[in-house]
Amino acid sequence: MSATPPPGFTPTGTISSPRDRRRVVFATVIGTTVEWYDFFVYASAAGLVFGQLFFAGLGANSLLISFATVGVSFLFRPLGAFLAGHLGDKYGRKFVLMLTLILMGVATTLIGVLPTVEVIGVFAPILLVLLRILQGVSAGGEWGGAVLMAVEHAPRTRRGIFGASPQIGVPLGLLLASGIMALMAIIAPGDAFVAWGWRIPFLLSVVLIVVGYYVRRRVEESPVFAELAERKEKAQMPIVQLFKKHLLLVIIAALVFAGNNAVGYMTTGGYIQGYATNPDGPLQLERGPVLWAVTGSAVVWLLSTLFAGWIADRIGRRSTYIIGWVLQLGGVLALFPLVNTGNVWLLFAGLAILTIGLGFTYGPQAALYTELFPASIRFSGVSISYAIGAIVGGAFAPTIAQALVQATGSTESVTWYLLGMTAIGLIATLLLRDRSGIPLGPDHEAEQAKSPVYGLAKA
């Protein structure tokens, strides 16, 4: 089928205006930062105060249950990914991004005004979990849309660095969430933080959502989707086609992310914050310095993520990932020996070393995922792979870590768990061919549909 391409297209399938490209990059960074700020504020609060405010009376298990609510949202990420993938492949990437931004903001703001268990009893944790589920649905749909907007607009030789723009929203969100939490620990120290200080970061989401909405509504639709729409070649049942033809690819891609996500959720899931500040734990550090250490490590993560996206355009996605897995393995081995010194500067060093590997196994992911799936089902493919990887990896990583420490009395078991997840990510990466620079437009659907899994001709 032939048709006149939409205005602004070049033969490489990207928009021609550098100004438009910059606007897309800015919008994806701002939007994903806001989304992940909301997500990580919850995780941080779960490690610091939710145990005593919403799960009081459970004794030593209150923190364990609090971390479990962090993981509950991951179980609903696939729902968000399925919905967003279907809507994104049928109605566009931009539509989904606006929807997820609003949903996340509303849920986060409502958590900021939620009464505690002392006020409304059992309804407090129930409502908290329901709002966390809404955050999970939103997060499940957000990433795929942001990634495709960035990479499908990018020049062929710069997809890695363009794709790193939504990726840095994660460390930026962590930086912002931890920084504001640390600031509130200064403004409202001690009991004041527990009483009301933790609520302010949630309520600030209203301002961030307004900014994110304004920025995102000004960007153009993805050129690949616009061309599909122009030609009326959008998939009618994209999810059915995805699982019928590309199920193995989805599983392998999910395991690539799982290896990164499980390790990353030691901080983004609030585990290190809770472990280091637990008044009944071995370290009993002050809340503020630990939060600042996490904030500082987020800066290192941001820089390593950007660098990984840049280097992936030069040596390929697969090679960058392999370097990243080796660096991540070293970071895992160094983490708890440094954290367990009880010195906040060494705690920061452990987190900073860890985030270098995390950046290298996260920065190239947007470009890698985008180049794995055919154009007509790409939103569904990247979103669902990401959501499944998040469940296998980060969903219950803080809960597993807490349970392992409670069962063994040592963080050594957590280190072995994280090493295992890193090995899974490395093996999954080795199973995939590097498809850097493959054409992304609908004219090349047949080439895109060939399986990138070694040993398979077709998915």
Name the token pair of 186.
């200064």
What tens digit of pLDDT does each residue of 236-251 get? 677 888 888 899 999 9
- Please report whether residue 458 resides in a domain: no
Name the token pair of 315.
């040596």
When divided into structural domains, the chain yields a total of 1
Model pLDDT, residue 56: 78
Q: Which domain holds residue 424?
A: 18-449
Model pLDDT, residue 236: 62
Exposed/middle/buried for residue 244 (C-beta within 10 Å: 0-12, 13-18, 19+): exposed
Exposed/middle/buried for residue 131 (C-beta within 10 Å: 0-12, 13-18, 19+): buried
- Please report whether residue 10 resides in a domain: no
- Please report whether residue 6 resides in a domain: no
Q: Quote the CA–CA distance of 254 and 252 in Å, as a whole number.
A: 5
Model pLDDT, residue 230: 65
- Please report whether residue 11 resides in a domain: no
Model pLDDT, residue 12: 38
Taking CA 198 as the corner, what is the angle to CA 142 and CA 30, rounded to the nearest 5 degrees?
Answer: 30
User: What is the domain-level CATH number for residue 74?
Assistant: 1.20.1250.20
- Please report whether residue 49 resides in a domain: yes
Residues of the chain predicted below pLDDT 50? 1-16, 458-459
Model pLDDT, residue 16: 47
Helix (H, G, I), strand (E, B) or coil at 15: strand
Model pLDDT, residue 310: 96
- Please report whether residue 131 resides in a domain: yes
Taking CA 37 as the corner, what is the angle to CA 145 and CA 50, rounded to the nearest 5 degrees?
Answer: 125
Q: Which of 348-351's residues contact partners 24+ apart within 8 Å by CB, and which partners?
A: 348/293, 348/296, 348/297, 351/267, 351/272, 351/293, 351/294, 351/296, 351/297, 351/300
Q: Quote the CA–CA distance of 132 and 126 in Å, as a whole number.
A: 10
Question: Among all chains, which residue has been given the structure tokens 């640390």?
Answer: 182
Model pLDDT, residue 42: 86
Q: Which of 190-193's residues contact partners 24+ apart within 8 Å by CB, and which partners?
A: 193/48, 193/49, 193/287
What tens digit of pLDDT does each residue of 215-227 get? 777 766 666 666 6
- Please report whether residue 13 resides in a domain: no
pTM exceeds 0.85, yes or no: no
- Please report whether residue 3 resides in a domain: no
Q: Quote the CA–CA distance of 313 and 302 in Å, as a whole number.
A: 17
CA distances from 261 to 307, 405, 420, 432 (A): 19, 20, 12, 19
Do residues 151 and 370 make contact, with C-beta atoms less than 8 angstroms apart? yes
